[in-house]
A and B are shown apart, each in its own frame.
Chain A
């Protein structure tokens, strides 16, 4: 399980500055973590004061550190992440003209891939606090799924979420559906697979400390086909507040060239997104 005791947020002096910092303070509060506020540029007492003012305004009393450094944003931020052993990086999405769509800047996308710590991508930039009532976890079988699920429960507990849905994949049968007979076979296979998946997830949930599970409604939901692609769609349909997933390793050369699950989700950013690394 990951614990988030060191959180970093980048502060550019844009109209978003205030919202960014307010949100970061909020999350630092949730996790009871130390907050690092990084500004790319030269040290400047005026700027420093502004940041301090905003933080004080939020009533954040936890530990904080303001870092000024010049250089390329990607390099600087990833460097600081490693240097200070940052555990969670918070990035915000930009909003399109259309109210319903958001997108990540290229810098955010590259950072998401580059840094070694977990990344929280916030789609809904808001000064007002929104409860993260419903968390959806990608429970796709991978080497790190136990860690992903445990961490998600930890996050859910910190954010006092009410409901956690673990999404699992009903793997496609090698047999294709051609006629009634193959359909019957495949349907039985799906039922069996779903059962197995449920067992797998339940096993992992059982390993999670009980205090992280209290007051949370846990639901297992299997979706058909490759959940990696569809999980964003699912989160959107059930109107989840936060989607938690890990980064699947890119294996082969050919696959490196193709878009993977994360690319699809980053392109659409269906909800706030926590990528656990």
Chain B
């Protein structure tokens, strides 16, 4: 076994090495840029990437992630470096290094306490709002630098206000440094924007940030060797890297660790680093072609350890980064060695191209960050959120503004509280939440040997999603799962989004996960992630948007060439004269799949007298039979739920088929008719196929499997069974 593993390891080594190389091409300019944006020495970002790559690839739990300095931290680190020592950047940096070391230790602690789960308690919209705020923060600062103005200071709002002045200065300046730096910045921005649009295989080989480096270095050589002139941009506008990297490392200063502002910085760094890492790990698991599950807690420990070492060596903190990881996956990395090689290549670059790196103007790197910041905060994100629902737009904007105007921690907290309050307001039911918040709301069991059934009751939102997640995580993705929300009165968008993630995970591993019981829930918008709730008066109207199950049913209908009708005003009258419905009151029928004589539908009915009333939903198949067939009921022997209480029928044994009689409970009013109907081939068919409850009312057949909604997979199986059964009967009468 171990030799086989090592063989795959060696055989995939070249592609992992290549992938690591490509990633390092991005990581180098990004590392320099992110550090610069944080007002830290540019080299500190590269240190973080090198240490992170080496340590996390050795100790980490995920396979194809890349670790290094992250976007999210820029704003926190910038605040820390500029404020911890009251404006003294060098001292502030050293204090921040101490905070980074502490944050690393806290992350290790989180990993040991298995608090990777914490990221589940953040509503997805609030996180998006916070990320957008980080984007605005990066953008606001770096856009000045990109236009050559490296001295702009202040908070995000002030920076944005000063933007017109920087632009004005850029256009009117006489300082050639200022002007050329701005031009380089603009060209770099163009490279970032248009790189993806140029469809040339060789051009695409080098990632956009590296093209910027190539351009900047090339320009410098062009002036030096071709024009034989001085570089048009003064050294002050170029990045500074110490001549001897190893002797000039900065070290943390633990002087102010007892102060409140220091502790606040530690908390902010830990929080943002953990969230960014956990979200990235989750996202990269989706990208992984082998769909392996990453051990997030092990990753947290490894990242914490890497952060401590990086901090001690004067580097920024280490997180898992999504953009570089996805490049890694795209270049066919298969295991952790890619991350390791990315670090080694970075180290090599740093040692070999020290002089060339110093030729890069700061504005060129700023352009990379402006682009990154813009993508985080792009208006399209706002639009995407507004499609989910107005409530989500409110959460997004409140989180965004609070984060920009105050701090990240306060921002995310306000986002969480706003989301929860909105849930209370939308549902107009405080009790639903407060009575059930601490209750176990998820039931999971195995139905037979084949599938898992998960029922969720009361409400399911970001507050208690971890319960559902804990159960779902116990199921191997190769299995079949039905998640039933019909007892759940409210499902929020965070849960909907996560269910979608699970769905894709199961699909990728040839299992299946289906969400049922949501089509009675109303939703404000037609977005698949829109939160859904049952109102007190269940109304079925066309304004309800289709659930995923419904769209899947629609596509089944198309596959079979059938018609799909989600709602009908009148309910299906045909089925009420089946004996099964003698004691059950049909309330509604919906989700029709119709083809001539065949109709598959969901039926909602009640059972019992008014006081013991139970509402039940089931998926059934009705087949209109053109010939007159005898009345009968066919059940599995021993299944008593379906047998009606006051039966005038008795068990009919079919002579010559003891096994069939043993396994099935067949009853009917006209015994001889039933006996002639159940010919050998029909019995063989029933014996050799899945069990269904089958009922005949002379004119038609009603069949169903369970007294619950069927998953899409089960609907397909039912249609298949029904059609074959129908054909058998047709053939039988055709022969007769």
Contact = CB atoms under 8 A, between A and B. Distances in A.
A174 to B, nearest CB: 12
A177 B114 CA distance: 11
A163 B640 contact: yes
Contacts of B445: 221-224, 234
Interface in B271-312: 292-298
A57 interface: no
Interface string A164-207: 00000000000011111011101100100000000000000000
Contacts of A180: 292-293
A230 interface: yes
Interface in A119-163: 124-126, 128, 130-131, 133-134, 162-163
Looking at A131, A134, A230, A236, which has the most chain B CB atoms within 10 Å of its CB? A230
Interface residues on B, range: 35 or more
A99 interface: yes
A95 interface: yes
Interface string B439-476: 11111111000000101010000000000001101101
Contact of B296 (A162, A178, A224, A264): A178
Nearest to B479: A187
B495 to A, nearest CB: 18
Interface stretch (B179-187, B333-341, B603-611, B684-692): B603-611
Contact of B439 (A217, A223, A264): A264
B595 interface: no
A95 B611 contact: yes
Nearest to B613: A99
A179 B292 contact: yes
B611 A229 contact: no
Interface string B610-625: 1111111000000000
Nearest to A180: B293
Given A187-B476, A223-B445, A229-B439, A179 B609 contact: no
A154 B82 CA distance: 77
A179 B487 contact: no
Interface in A83-137: 95, 99-100, 124-126, 128, 130-131, 133-134
Given A179-B61, A190-B474, A237-B455, A100 B295 contact: no
A187 B297 CA distance: 20
Contacts of A250: none
Given A162-B640, A176-B114, A224 B474 contact: yes
A124 B610 CA distance: 10
Interface residues on A, range: 35 or more
A168 B282 CA distance: 33
Nearest to A123: B612
Contacts of A223: 443-445
B455 A233 contact: yes
A126 B611 contact: yes
Contacts of A186: 474
A184 B477 CA distance: 11
Contact of B609 (A128, A183, A190, A234): A128
B151 interface: no
Given A183-B476, A223-B443, A264-B439, A133 B640 contact: yes
Contact of B638 (A176, A217, A259): A217
A125 B611 contact: yes
Contacts of A239: 607, 614, 616, 707
Looking at B438, B444, B453, B613, which has the most chain A CB atoms within 10 Å of its CB? B444
B175 interface: no
B596 interface: no
A108 B294 CA distance: 50
A167 to B, nearest CB: 8
Nearest to A226: B440
A271 to B, nearest CB: 10
Contacts of B645: 131
Contacts of B243: none
A230 B473 CA distance: 18
A230 to B, nearest CB: 5
Contact of A100 (B453, B471, B613): B613
B478 to A, nearest CB: 10
Contacts of B570: none
Looking at B608, B614, B640, which has the most chain A CB atoms within 10 Å of its CB? B640
A248 interface: no
B443 A234 contact: yes
A250 to B, nearest CB: 18
B401 to A, nearest CB: 37
Contacts of A237: 443, 453, 455, 484, 487
A183 B293 CA distance: 9
B86 interface: no
Contacts of A190: 474
A131 B439 CA distance: 31
B244 interface: no
A225 interface: yes
B641 interface: yes
A170 to B, nearest CB: 9
Looking at B292, B609, B612, which has the most chain A CB atoms within 10 Å of its CB? B612
A186 to B, nearest CB: 7
Contacts of B707: 239
A226 B610 CA distance: 33
Contacts of B484: 237
A133 B638 CA distance: 12
Contacts of B298: 178-179
A128 B645 CA distance: 14
A190 B479 CA distance: 15
Contact of A222 (B446, B473, B608, B610): B446
Contacts of A226: 440
A230 B439 CA distance: 10
Looking at A100, A125, A179, A222, which has the most chain B CB atoms within 10 Å of its CB? A179
A109 B521 CA distance: 34
Looking at B445, B608, B612, which has the most chain A CB atoms within 10 Å of its CB? B445
A126 B457 contact: no
A100 B293 CA distance: 41
A100 B615 contact: yes
A221 B455 CA distance: 15
B609 A126 contact: yes
Nearest to A221: B445
22 contacts: A99-B611, A125-B611, A128-B609, A133-B641, A134-B640, A163-B641, A178-B61, A179-B61, A179-B293, A180-B293, A183-B473, A186-B474, A190-B474, A224-B445, A224-B471, A225-B440, A225-B470, A230-B442, A234-B443, A234-B445, A236-B487, A237-B487
Interface of A: 95, 99-100, 124-126, 128, 130-131, 133-134, 162-163, 176-180, 182-184, 186-187, 190, 217, 221-226, 229-230, 233-234, 236-237, 239, 259, 264, 267
Q: What 5 A-B pairs come out closest when comparing CB atoms? A: A124-B612, A178-B295, A229-B440, A162-B640, A233-B443
Given A99-B610, A224-B445, A229-B439, 7 more contacts: A99-B613, A124-B612, A163-B641, A178-B61, A178-B297, A223-B444, A233-B457
